[in-house]
Amino acid sequence: MTCSACLREGAGRGDEQDADVGTVTNAGTSIREEEEEEEEEEEEEEGMGAITDRNSSPAITVEAEAEEGGLETECGQQAFDSGSQGDDNDKHVEAVCKDMEAWESSGQWPFSCYSAVKASISGFTELSPEELRMEYYSGRAAGDLQNYANSVQQLATQWSSRVQELKILTPATRVALIAELNNPLTVADGFPAAASGFGAGGFGSGPVGAVVSAFGSADPPAGPTGFGSASSAASFSFGPGPAPGPTPAPPAASFSFSSPAPSFAAPPGPASSAGFSFSAPGFGAPPAAPPASAGGTSFGQAVGAGPVVGGAPDKLFTPQSELTPDELKEFTGKRFTLGQVPLRPPPAGLLVV
Amino acid sequence: MLQLMMKLAAFAILDSILKSISSMSLFGASPGFGTGGTSVFGNTTTDTHNPMKDVEVTSPPDDSISCLAFSPPSMPGNFLIGGSWANDVRCWEVQDNGQTVPKAQQMHTGPVLDVCWSDDGSKVFTASCDKTAKMWDLNSNQAMQIAQHEGPIRTIHWIKAPNYSCIMTGSWDKTLKFWDTRSPSPMMSLQMPERAYCADVVYPMAVVATADRGLIVYQLENQPSEFRRIESPLKHQHRCVAVFKDKQSKPTGFALGSIEGRVAIHYINPPNPAKDNFTFKCHRSNGTNTATPQDIYAVNAISFHPVHGTLATVGSDGRFSFWDKDARTKLKTSDQLDQPITACSFNSNGNIFAYASSYDWSKGHEYYNPQKKNYIFLRNAAEELKPRNKK
């Protein structure tokens, strides 16, 4: 592939060039190229891509071999369409399939968003380890971990189902995936450098303009408003999430949660100062205030007005007249709001492919 | 070996999940691995808590360490601050002979997620899940609340501009707020598209990475404002970010890490974005066997060496790595610790690399052992972070 040839060739040149920032080092690869190369690089030991101690040819050979004798996968057999657009779609669908395979077997964090070809793919819950941990700590402090366990299990099941769905595509899910890949929401790349003069090398050689001595208090937000409910403490909901597509198979998650071990006799609680001695004359005596338990966030309570939880859809489209206002808002919007994806299919008229 | 253990655990857990789904009795099922007193990662017979034989900081916190920060160059000596999930923030003096002396401690009412110093070293700022941020005056050892959000505060940074100074807080309530420490109301509140997951400030640039792969650069001259929203170069959840500088010490880009063992190097205004910007894989198990899938770990933190401009990454795999982003080479990878590495920091002259070993929740609650000791290690960083193609 042309891109990998550039990379390997560039790796050699990069060594000889000036390392100053601002000088173009040819050992680069664009992000897009990097994405395409991933399939070939699966067996490479970790590195930055440009392995400067080797010359170019062996690296290319290794990659080519890898492509042919690579991971056992069903992904290569997903070719359905014909024509150049079809080829692109096939390529992208295959890439997604491989990503799902890797995700499933790698043990990496499951509660993460996912995107391919710059398009965010729906059906994944974005939750950081800290947020999840905080839910656990809150539950533990309240003496109730059942809620946490239930929710985590549900999330894990949803994740696993979605991964399976994207790995083994039915014609319907394939169409839906291709639709998502081809209609990425472009990032609002606004706010051109008003403070111009951000030169090639640096960020802030800003304009010599009027200096505001102190900026005002509690200015209204500068960015676009209306991004979900900022007022809720936990902006994700552990309520019922989207159940897209056919009935999910029992999850074979390599990363799964069972119930918490019942061995937590007493919560460890906040650190005691017993083992931490204070000997410095510079700092004063430690504070005496005993810490209270961590404030609980609204765990398990429905956050925001989600759509009505209907039964499993047994028709392909929902008449527009039957939609709730929230569902209609979601379907007519450019993209779904996380946590508020309707459970019922859209009306035929709103289906955008 | 590790992979086999994980897979066995997965099958055992899957079995109990399926049972519990049908019977709806969750408690009492097999707890799986990692709930005993043994270490989670690696061999339990050999003690691998400090394979690099680095200096252990005395009196480490009793729960996972979320953040580390060394004192600024304006202060004589080296003082290390560490925040933890035990709701505390601790301060140690690091002496030149390597000895660490506990100095003082402050408490929040929820886990501490981030800490930073003022530029003159007189104050430490702490951010917590209790939705507040505090200012800790080290001389008087008094702390007072200086910020309030509607959700846990995930990031806190001190901004020192020619015409103002303030604190910047990023929260899971999707706002970025700026505080004059003397006033209970924020000087400015900026709405973000999603929850703040990580941030970094090198005046006049601030970068915030949010949930759903949000990436926003702010410019801080005169007053903070949004500069640009950037399409993320990564496919998965953003986890950590660090701004880097050019040879003139001006901020020029950032390194962004994700949960998927990958870091993106991104320049704000490069001559040739397609060539200058790139991503690299890291914190993965050695995938030399094509038939075996890799284990992929999260990048928990990134720090740039203050002198050399090379970077350190620490991951859920319990390793740290040093990299030269200009030469695009890896400088070093550590041996594997028996716990994830959750935080890291360089001291002001770059001679000391501090890293924390504790559980990061990357495998959920089952691998959480409250009895397991947490560590902070100090390593001499003077030599290992030198750039590969030093002229």
Averaged pLDDT for residues B275-295: 84
* Lowest pLDDT segment from A40-44, A209-213, A265-269, B105-109: A209-213
Residues B175 and B187 in one domain: yes
Task: State the best of A16, A41, A62, A109 to mutate against chain B, taking most chain B CBs within 10 Å.
Answer: A109
Please, what sign has the CA dihedral across residues B129, B135, B138, B139?
A: negative
Task: State the best of A29, A276, A279, A298 to mutate against chain B, taking most chain B CBs within 10 Å.
Answer: A276
Is A157:A164 a contact under the CB 8 Å cutoff? Answer: no
Averaged pLDDT for residues B187-203: 98
Nearest to B255 by CA among B324, B333, B335, B183: B324
- Is residue B298 assigned to a domain? yes
Q: Report the distance separating Cα A110 and Cα A93, nearest Å.
A: 20
Does residue A345 or residue B135 have the better pLDDT?
Answer: B135
* Lowest pLDDT segment from A12-21, A306-315, B250-259: A12-21
**Long-range contacts of the stretch B163-170 (C-beta < 8 A, 24+):** B163/A211, B163/A212, B163/A213, B163/A214, B163/B222, B164/A213, B164/A214, B164/A215, B164/B223, B165/B118, B165/B119, B167/B125, B167/B133, B167/B135, B168/B199, B168/B201, B168/B206, B168/B224, B169/B127, B169/B133, B170/B196, B170/B199, B170/B208
Give me the phi and psi of A72, to 5 degrees please.
-65, 125
- Is residue B145 assigned to a domain? yes
Instruction: Using the predicted structure, report yes or no on whether residue B358 has a pLDDT greater than 80.
Output: yes
Quote the tokens at residue B221.
């001259």
CA distance B94 to chain A (A): 12
Q: Report the distance separating Cα B203 and Cα B33, nearest Å.
A: 46
Helix, strand, coil percentages for chain A (3-state, nearest 5): 35, 0, 65
Q: Considering only the beta carbons, identify the residue of A49, A130, A195 that sits closest to B219.
A: A195
- Is residue B358 assigned to a domain? no
Give me the phi and psi of A35, to 5 degrees please.
-65, -40
Instruction: Using the predicted structure, report yes or no on whether residue A281 has a pLDDT greater than 50.
Output: no
* Lowest pLDDT segment from A91-95, A199-203, B293-297: A199-203
The range of the structural domain enclosing residue B144 comes to: 56-191
Digit-coded pLDDT (tens) for B72-86: 999 999 999 999 999
Q: Which residues of B touch A270 (CB under 8 A)?
A: 62, 86-88, 107
Residues B185 and B204 in one domain: no
DSSP string, B42-76: S-SSS--S-TT-PEEPSS--SS-EEEEEEPPTTSS
Q: Report the distance separating Cα A29 and Cα A52, nearest Å.
A: 15
Instruction: Using the predicted structure, report yes or no on whether residue A16 has a pLDDT greater than 50.
Output: no
The rounded Cα A316 to chain-centroid distance in angstroms is: 29
CA distance A328 to chain B (A): 21
Q: Report the distance separating Cα A191 and Cα A224, nearest Å.
A: 11
Does residue A261 or residue B96 have the better pLDDT?
Answer: B96
Averaged pLDDT for residues B329-349: 97
Nearest to A277 by CA among B100, B65, B97: B100
Averaged pLDDT for residues B45-51: 81
pLDDT of residue A52: 31
Averaged pLDDT for residues A12-16: 36
Looking at the DSSP bridge assignments, the partners of residue B324 are: B329
Residues B243 and B262 in one domain: yes
Q: What single-letter DSSP state applies at residue B287? A: -
Q: How far is CA A233 from CA A131, A338, B37, B209, in A?
A: 11, 15, 34, 19
Helices A146-167 and A171-182, packing angle to 10 deg: 90
Does residue B388 or residue B115 have the better pLDDT?
Answer: B115
Residues B220 and B299 in one domain: yes
Averaged pLDDT for residues B316-343: 97
CA dihedral B208, B331, B274, A223 (to 10 degrees): 0
Which of B135, B156, B191 is the C-terminal boundary of a domain?
A: B191
Averaged pLDDT for residues A172-178: 92
Give me the phi and psi of B101, to 5 degrees please.
-120, 115
Q: How far is CA B39 from CA A90, B124, B370, in A?
A: 45, 33, 12
- Is residue B74 assigned to a domain? yes
| Helix spans in A168-258 (H) | 171-182
pLDDT of residue A351: 62
pLDDT of residue A334: 66
Residues B186 and B62 in one domain: yes
Q: Which of residues 132-191 of B touch A (CB under 8 A)?
A: 138-143, 150-152, 154, 162-164, 172-175, 183, 185-191
Which of B136, B162, B191 is the C-terminal boundary of a domain?
A: B191
What is chain B's mean pLDDT, rounded? 90
Residues B124 and B213 in one domain: no
- Is residue B362 assigned to a domain? no
CB contact under 8 A, B219 and A136: no
pLDDT of residue A75: 73
Angle at B368 between CA B367 and CA B372, to 5 degrees: 110
- Is residue B14 assigned to a domain? no
CATH number for the domain spanning B278: value is 2.130.10.10
Total number of domains constituting chain B: 2
Residues B80 and B124 in one domain: yes
Digit-coded pLDDT (tens) for B157-181: 999 999 999 999 999 999 999 999 9
Q: What is the distance between the terminal CA atoms of chain B, rounded to a whole angstrom?
A: 43
Averaged pLDDT for residues B215-234: 97
Angle at B210 between CA B206 and CA B213, to 5 degrees: 115
Nearest to B52 by CA among B332, B284, B383, B350: B332
Task: State the best of B79, B131, B275 to mutate against chain A, taking most chain A CBs within 10 Å.
Answer: B275
Does residue A17 or residue A89 have the better pLDDT?
Answer: A89
For residue B142, give every residue at least 6 positions away whose Cβ sits within 8 Å of its Cβ, in sequence order, or none.
A284, B136
Residues B186 and B87 in one domain: yes
Does residue A209 or residue B160 have the better pLDDT?
Answer: B160
Nearest CA in chain B to A112: B237
CB contact under 8 A, B110 and A295: yes
pLDDT band at residue B258 using 50, 70 and 90 as cut-offs? very high
Averaged pLDDT for residues B31-48: 47
Is B388:B331 a contact under the CB 8 Å cutoff? Answer: yes
Digit-coded pLDDT (tens) for A135-173: 999 999 999 999 999 999 999 999 999 999 999 999 999
pLDDT of residue A336: 65
Residues B242 and B169 in one domain: no
Phi-psi region of B74 (alpha: psi -120 to 50; beta: other; left: phi over 0): alpha
Is B74:B120 a contact under the CB 8 Å cutoff? Answer: yes
Is B171:A234 a contact under the CB 8 Å cutoff? Answer: no
Q: Considering only the beta carbons, identify the residue of A14, A189, A268 that sits closest to B370.
A: A268
Nearest CA in chain A to B12: A258
- Is residue B349 assigned to a domain? no
Quote the tokens at residue A170.
């039915």
pTM for the model stands at 0.68
CB contact under 8 A, B213 and A275: no
Which of B191, B218, B251 is the C-terminal boundary of a domain?
A: B191
Using the Cβ of B114 and the Cβ atoms of chain A, whether some distance falls under 8 Å is answered with no
Is B80:B100 a contact under the CB 8 Å cutoff? Answer: yes
Cis omega before residue B204 (within 30°)? yes
Residues B90 and B184 in one domain: yes
Q: Which of residues 340-359 of B touch A (CB under 8 A)?
A: none
Amino acid at B77: G
Q: Considering only the beta carbons, identify the residue of A33, A231, A294 that sits closest to B111.
A: A294
Residues B155 and B260 in one domain: no
Per-residue burial over A73-100, b if 16 or more Cβ lie within 10 Å, else e, is eebeebeeeeeeeeeebbebbbbbbbbb
Residues B325 and B279 in one domain: yes
Task: State the best of A36, A128, A181 to mutate against chain B, taking most chain B CBs within 10 Å.
Answer: A128
pLDDT of residue A88: 84
Digit-coded pLDDT (tens) for B373-390: 999 999 999 999 999 875
- Is residue B309 assigned to a domain? no
What is chain A's mean pLDDT, rounded? 57
pLDDT band at residue A347 using 50, 70 and 90 as cut-offs? confident
